[in-house]
Each structure stands twice: as C-alpha cells, then as structure tokens.
Amino acid sequence: MTIAVLGAGIVGLCTALELQRDGHAVIIVDPDEPGVRQAASYGNGTWLNPGSVLPMSTPGLWKQVPGFLLDPDGPFIIRWRYLPALAGWLMRFVLAGRTWQQVEICATRRYELNRNTAQDHAALATEAGRPDLIRCNGLMFVYPDQAAIDAERQSWQLRQNLGIRFRKIETAELHKRVPELSTAYSLGMQMEDGGQVVDPGAYCNALYQLAIRRGATHKTARATGFSFNGNRLTAVMTDAGAIPCDRAVIAAGVGSRDLARQAGDKVPLISERGYHVVIPNPGFDLPAGLMPSDGKMGVVMTPQGLRLAGQVELASVSAAPNWRRALILLNYGRRMFPALAAKADAVEEDVGSQNYWMGHRPSTPDGLPCIGPASRSPDIFHAFGHGHVGMIQAPATGRLVAALIAGRQPACDATAFVARRFG
C-alpha cells in the first residue's frame, strides 16, 4: 500500500519507519525539513521517562487555576486574552483529573505507550547509524528536602504500583554525582529505566534520513484535506497538489486538529506552549537529565549547551513568544548551578537569540493521545495529541498505528486512544 504520513515530527517519523517494516511505500508530507526548529520534537526537554504516567490534570487542580491566571512567575500560565477560547478545553481538563481513580486509569493507559521508551529509541538510533544520540543512563528528580518528596507521595506510589523502577538518592551520592548542583537540593529520585535524547533535532533528522534510505519520499507541502470516493480515501490534498494514496496518517502535532476535523473527528486539541533556553559551554557534564521539583522542567546537557526546558503557557498557536517565560527557566538554572550565574547573565542579555526557543505541545484535555482510525474513513488514522510525552510515546505509537493498518492484534488496548471518545 502507499501511505501518506502527514507530519515529520518524532511521531510521524517513528510511524513512517514502522510502516516501512510492513512493506508499505511511505510518502512523508511536511512543509519543513524534519529536525528543524518549527516542530515540538526539536526543542523539548529530551526526557525519555517511562514514569511520565501522571496526566497534568490531578485532583484539586481547579483550586490552582486562579493562581495560574495571576502568578506571572509560576510554571503554568494562561494568557487572559485567550481564556474565552480555552474555557471549554480547560473545563474538560479539570474534569479529566477529578479523582485519583481517574488519574490511575489514565496513568495505566499512558504506561502502555511509555514502557520501553529509552530502549526503543536506542534501537532506532542504532538502526539510523547514530547510537550516540540516545543515552540510557537514567533520569533524576531533585528535591530540596524530604518534605518535597512526601508532597508527591501519591505520584511515586502510583509509579510503584505500575512496576516502574526508581530509587532514592541520598545527599552525599547526589552531590558526588552532580558536584555543580546547589546544596539547596539535597535528595534525588532516580528513574532507573529513563534515558535522554541527546539532540532531538539531529535525532529526528537521522530517523528521516533512515526512512529516505529505505525508500520513503518527502513531499514538501502542507496537507490541507482529503479526497474521498464514498468513505474510501483517494488522495491527500496539499497546497502543492493532490497526493494519491491508499491510507493516510495524521501526525501533524498541533497542526492535526483541522485535518482530524476533515477526517470526521472534532478533537479538543490545543497548544500547551513551552520554552527552552540554552546556556552554551557550561563547562561540565551531567550524569543524567535532571528535573527540579520546584521548577518542573527538564535540565539536560545537549551539544548546544545546558538546556532548560519547560513552562506551560496557554495561548493561541500564532501568538508571539513571551521570552519572559524562558527567563523564568534561566533563573532556575542560576539557582541550581550557582557557578553558571555569569554565563546565565550573558544569555539573558541576548534575549530572543538562537539560545531561546518556543514550541507547541499538542495537547488533549484528558492526557491521552488520539491513535486509531478516523470516523469519516477507515483509511485515515490519527497519531497526534501526545502533549508532554510525545518523544516518550512515539515508538509505541508508530507500532500501534502499523498494527491497526495491518489488521494485527496491537500490543496494547487501542480503544482508550480513539478520537471518538470526545464525542
């Protein structure tokens, strides 16, 4: 079969490679070169954490919403002007995490896609001839004290119930492993099976080159819709003409919403905008990716320097970046690594430069992606909406889409991910 994969972020690329394993001819459709700055897959926190099972919405969150509107320096901000447009999504978001029972069900489903993420990516990177782009040496949450760990007790319990391996790191070991870390952080929790994509942009490009070597073609175009004969797909329509094909996979990140609607599914998909800032040449390496409990952000070493990635800003896709969000991340960098203060000051002077990035997490309100057949046609498949965990879940998503297209029994229950759940 000839299958058009719409979008060449990490989800589209992993899906394209799995479809090729099944012998399909793949056409990658993307207006941009894979691996460049426009995609969320370029600038993320690089964390491959099987333990990223908790959705963003948890019980009691609604009490914090006023603070999200008012605290300009918090990890989560809603731009007032966009509140009316986002109200419906926010309502569903809060309702999705009303009880711990709901959170547990969601976590179990997320874990189905997270399970072997670092090993899966390591295997893909090896196939692509770039094993150096994946590190499988764990990930570490760092905490100021035991009280901060206790405050997240329920989350750790949930991970333990799922069989996710982690280990507490005491003060001496933490500072031996990360001597540059401020003594304001005294304890760690190591995710044993975690890993890191060393350079997500280069990794996406390596997977793209692999798909091309294996016979994929790239149509440099933006998909705009579909052409049908009855309910059967005949072509994907683009701004550069029609692409005849037997099947299509919508994997266009935050750009998927309009395509999904044309495929019969009205999905509440928004951008949870995030930022990163890089401190070049920090002068040390990290033994693993870090996440400070107070900043809720990825602190990782990349070839460009120390990347600080995080923040959630709810605003429209087209709104200009607010680099103040990135400066909040930079302040955490100063707090975590006092010796980097002067280098952080230099980065701050150059605000908006190449060291700064803003991107779009494609987010559904219930913390689960849309994977599976579209309502309008059995020939169109969804593969989008991975929110905060698209790097983690991309390999399993690709396998699931390939199994559904082939009519094989998938490795996990796919019904939880159908787009029709939004009605």
Ligand X SMILES: Cc1cc2nc3c(=O)[nH]c(=O)nc-3n(C[C@H](O)[C@H](O)[C@H](O)COP(=O)(O)OP(=O)(O)OC[C@H]3O[C@@H](n4cnc5c(N)ncnc54)[C@H](O)[C@@H]3O)c2cc1C
CA distances to 102, 112, 418, 419 from 413, rounded to whole Å, are 17, 8, 10, 14
Q: Does 41 bind ligand X (CB under 6 A)?
A: yes
Binding residues for ligand X restricted to 306-345, rule: CB under 6 A: 309-310
In whole angstroms, the minimum distance from the beta carbon of 291 to ligand X comes to 9
Size of the site for ligand X (CB under 6 A): 42
Among the candidate windows 93-101, 227-235, 374-382, 385-393, which touches ligand X by CB under 6 A?
385-393
In whole angstroms, the minimum distance from the beta carbon of 295 to ligand X comes to 12
Q: Does 364 bind ligand X (CB under 6 A)?
A: no
Q: Tokens representing 184? A: 């304001």
Q: Which is nearer to ligand X, 30 or 379 (CB)?
A: 30
Per DSSP bridges, beta strands 247-250 and 2-6 are parallel
Binder of ligand X out of 18, 30, 366, 379 (CB under 6 A): 30
Per DSSP bridges, beta strands 305-314 and 76-78 are parallel
Q: Tokens representing 301? A: 């070493």
Q: Does 276 bind ligand X (CB under 6 A)?
A: yes
Q: Does 44 bind ligand X (CB under 6 A)?
A: yes
DSSP-assigned beta bridge partners for residue 47: 196
Question: Is-contact 243 4, C-beta < 8 A?
Answer: yes
The owner of tokens 């035991």 is: 146
CA distances to 6, 159, 327, 356 from 334, rounded to whole Å, are 40, 30, 10, 16
Question: Is-contact 127 210, C-beta < 8 A?
Answer: yes
Q: Which is nearer to ligand X, 11 or 181 (CB)?
A: 11
Q: Does 46 bind ligand X (CB under 6 A)?
A: yes
Binder of ligand X out of 389, 396, 401, 404 (CB under 6 A): 389
Q: Does 274 bind ligand X (CB under 6 A)?
A: yes
Among the candidate windows 42-50, 318-326, 372-380, 413-421, which touches ligand X by CB under 6 A?
42-50
Q: Does 286 bind ligand X (CB under 6 A)?
A: no
Which of 37, 32, 40 minimizes the C-alpha distance to 11? 40
Among the candidate windows 2-10, 98-106, 261-269, 400-408, which touches ligand X by CB under 6 A?
2-10
Q: Which is nearer to ligand X, 48 or 186 (CB)?
A: 48
Q: Does 143 bind ligand X (CB under 6 A)?
A: no
Q: Tokens representing 66? A: 């006023």
Sequence-distant (≥ 6) Cβ neighbours of residue 300 within 8 angstroms: 45, 46, 47, 196, 286, 289, 290, 306, 307, 309
Q: Does 222 bind ligand X (CB under 6 A)?
A: yes
Q: Which is nearer to ligand X, 50 or 188 (CB)?
A: 50
Q: Which is nearer to ligand X, 186 or 253 (CB)?
A: 253
The owner of tokens 């969000």 is: 325
Binding characters for ligand X, 67-96, by CB under 6 A (x = yes): ------------------------------
Q: Does 384 bind ligand X (CB under 6 A)?
A: yes
DSSP-assigned beta bridge partners for residue 250: 6, 382
Q: Where are the beta strands (DSSP E) in 62-128?
A: 76-78
219-243 per-residue burial string, b: 16 or more CB within 10 A, e: under 16: bebbbeebebeeeebebbbbeeeeb
Q: Which residues bind ligand X (CB under 6 A)?
A: 6-12, 29-32, 38-41, 44-47, 222-223, 251-253, 255, 274-276, 298, 309-310, 359, 361-362, 384, 386-392
